[in-house]
Amino acid sequence: MSSASSPPPRPRQPLAPRRPHTVPSPHGGREDPYYWLRDDARKDREVLAYLRAHNRYTAQWFKDHGNRERRLYREIVARMQQDDSTVPYFKRGHWYYARFSTGQEYPVLARRPGTLEAPEQILLDVNALAAGHAFFDLGTFEVSPDGRFLAWCEDRVGRREYSLWVKNLASGEVSELGIGNIEADLVWLNDSISLLYVAKDPQTLLGRYVRQHRVGTDPAHDGLVFEQDDPSFYTTIARTKSDRFVLLGMESTLSSEWRYAEADDPEPRFRTVLPREREHEYQVEHWGEEFILRSNRQAPNFRLVRVPIGAAGDASQWRDLQAHHPQVFIHDFEVMKSFIAVSERSGGLKRLRIRPLRESAGREDFLVDAGEPAYTMSLGVNVDLDSDTLRYTFTSLKTPPSVLDCDLHTRTRTLKKQERVLGDFDPDRYATQFIRAPGRDGAQIPVSLVYRKDTPLDGTAPLLQYGYGAYGHSLDPGFSSARLSLLDRGLVFALAHVRGGQDLGRAWYDEGRLLHKKNSFHDFIDVTKHLVELKVAAPDRVFAMGGSAGGLLMGAVANLAPQAYRGIIAQVPFVDMVTTMLDSSLPLTTNEFDEWGNPTERRYYDYMLSYSPYDNVGAQHYPAMYVTTGLWDSQVQYFEPAKWVARLLERRLGEEPLLLHTDLRAGHGGKSGRFERLREVAREYAFILNVAGVHGARRRARIKER
């Protein structure tokens, strides 16, 4: 056979060369031989060649295992209702909704004047906007108060550097304003000509400048409304539900400050609701002649108060709407005409409590009924302040997302829509549980479980355990039709509600950050141990998954308890935290000191260094690992996982699969289209099933009640 017809050589896993480099710090330098993989311009040929070589090796591994992700992808897509639409909502004389067409990656945004039978007006066809771009993300889109203009921002790279566009809805004329590197926040003033946006710092990518653009004028003349001078604060803008005020928000990990201006004022003059204070977080909404505040002042789990506009600085005028409770964490609230709906968490579950705002609405509060042991209730789209009908969503690990309306006077609930799952899906085929796992220090760690009822819980089932554990972000048990591809093959799925989230209130968060961060890692490992002891999972078939800060969790448990896991999936993992947190030029550094610690201080430096996944890779056997990243990631730079994999390949014992895939056309959130995202999910599931040795799904197995 001639050489021209010979098959190409099989790709080999690339090993990164070591090159001397010292990372400086006030406490002495650290050697980092893989620092050369950092290329802020994303143009270095050697770096790109290295990443592509890993991509080829990873693709070959999946090909050698039968290209299983293709079959899984087709299976997952087959469950989708592709021609779908959202439940319409009414605002300023129009019904607004989004609809998908079969085969299309993105939605069409549309509205109808007056009634749902009126002719449709297409606001944006996102498929057309995304055409020709490998990545596309539509940020905020806002219709002007008079309905004439649509403003939106879009990201074509994946680095969350949005550009601003305006469309004349009468003529259809679209204007690219040439305003780039902005946040995804947009606010119209009531004159329907003036538009506020937040411009980013070009180096750190933090929102820093609030500017005002007037439609039809040169953006070079956009006025500066506000400049953020503290790099530890994020900056955001919003409108109150009443449309009376524009809000300017500044938030860090532990404190916040809000300012308000009349939306009727063409030259907005902002006044401060409450000046920032260390460890005081609050949010604000307008109702009548009052502001309603969600505040953690003398209330770690937050409380709701009402106070006259302009009088928030006088604590004697604060009146509790919902007082602080040590076992109830207040997440959010929605103001209605006569009621306030409170999104709260107690016992680890997120639920909705309704409280009257007017005497005519009665005096009793009540919880919206759920009916399942592990579930999530969330506030939906509620734009009409004059309504007393609450729209909310309900889901559980076995119940598809449902949109419901609740009449707050009669407490009557109306199902508006439930996500349709095609095929032979039956929710009664699955079981959910909400249990507690004992931690090594006595903590009781909540765990949400879902599995098929015919899956034997006798110590033989594979388990996928997911965790996050940072920023006070709670993991809510929600449905995934894609996950059915695992459950139908006999896997158990578990959400480990580890410390670092706020699943059990603010104290649960505080016990998993700064100098208590290791609790997150120990909790995750202790949940695994408990599920194995209960025979929910086979000891040699446990898989772990987490992304971003959850990827840090994955890196830490891989170092601490590699023997506990058969495989680990680390999505865009934050694994080189000490080096990153020492570099204030990178996004998410100075404004993250309250989460991780400031490594210029010795106690934080030493503690962070003691668990940093990159710095603690050892000469030990690691489980099979699949690591993903995005070249344009602005949250966790691609070179963190790339360096981590290089060090793992250098130091590990054994030859379990260690795969790195870099999406060269995306950022932190991965691919942008709805089908492209599912391809990533299918590949992750294929990795799990291949390593676990699991094959066909049980389609019509006999159901056993447990």
pLDDT at 706: 28
Q: Could you read off the pLDDT of 9-54 as tens digits, one per residue?
A: 888 999 999 999 999 999 999 999 999 999 999 999 999 999 999 9
Cα dist from 324 to 7, 285, 289, 329, whole Å: 69, 19, 24, 8
pLDDT at 704: 33
Rounded to whole angstroms, the Cα distance separating 275 from 411 reads 39
The secondary structure of residue 614, as a DSSP letter, is G
Question: Is 633 an active-site residue?
Answer: yes
Is the pLDDT reported for residue 700 higher than 80?
A: no
Helix (H) or strand (E) holding 137: strand 137-143
**Residues in CB range of 6: below 8 A, 6 or more apart:** none
Question: Which has the closest alpha carbon to 584: 20, 25, 10, 29?
Answer: 25
pLDDT at 703: 32
Of residues 605 and 591, the one with the higher pLDDT is 605
- pLDDT bracket for residue 175 (50, 70, 90): confident
pLDDT at 705: 30
pLDDT at 592: 86
Out of 32, 481, 668, 672, pick the active-site residue: 668
Rounded to whole angstroms, the Cα distance separating 359 from 363 reads 7
Q: Could you read off the pLDDT of 392-401 as tens digits, one per residue?
A: 999 999 999 9
Q: Domains in the chain, please, with CATH?
A: 20-64+568-694 (3.40.50.1820)
Q: What is the mean pLDDT of residues 624-643?
A: 94
Exposure string of 310-345, with b = 16+ CB inside 10 Å and e = fewer, is eebeeeeebeebbebeeebbbbebbbbebbbbbbbb
Out of 137, 155, 633, 663, pick the active-site residue: 633
Q: How many Cβ atoms sit within 10 Å of the Cβ of residue 117?
A: 7
pLDDT at 598: 94
Residue 488 tokens read as: 């139908």
Is the pLDDT reported for residue 4 higher than 60?
A: no
Q: How many Cβ atoms sit within 10 Å of the Cβ of residue 5?
A: 6
Q: What is the mean pLDDT of residues 224-253?
A: 94
pLDDT at 134: 85
Out of 548, 612, 634, 672, pick the active-site residue: 548
Q: What is the mean pLDDT of residues 259-282?
A: 96
Q: What is the mean pLDDT of residues 284-297?
A: 97
* In contact, 638 and 587? CB cutoff 8 Å: no
pLDDT at 258: 98
pLDDT at 588: 65
The secondary structure of residue 516, as a DSSP letter, is G
Question: Which has the closest alpha carbon to 449: 389, 499, 493?
Answer: 493
Rounded to whole angstroms, the Cα distance separating 554 from 617 reads 12
Question: Is 668 an active-site residue?
Answer: yes
- pLDDT bracket for residue 257 (50, 70, 90): very high
Rounded to whole angstroms, the Cα distance separating 357 from 466 reads 39
Q: Could you read off the pLDDT of 547-589 as tens digits, one per residue?
A: 999 999 999 999 999 999 999 999 999 999 999 999 987 766 7
Q: What is the mean pLDDT of residues 319-341?
A: 95
Question: Which has the closest alpha carbon to 528: 548, 504, 552, 557?
Answer: 557
Of residues 7 and 502, the one with the higher pLDDT is 502
- pLDDT bracket for residue 232 (50, 70, 90): confident
pLDDT at 642: 98
Mean per-residue pLDDT over the chain, rounded? 93
Q: What is the mean pLDDT of residues 623-641?
A: 94
> What is the three-class DSSP state of 581?
helix
The secondary structure of residue 206, as a DSSP letter, is -
Is the pLDDT reported for residue 384 higher than 70?
A: yes
Q: Could you read off the pLDDT of 152-168 as tens digits, one per residue?
A: 999 998 888 899 999 99
Question: Which has the closest alpha carbon to 37: 25, 53, 24, 56?
Answer: 53
Which range among 63-72, 143-152, 353-362, 392-401 shows the weakest confidence by mean pLDDT?
A: 353-362
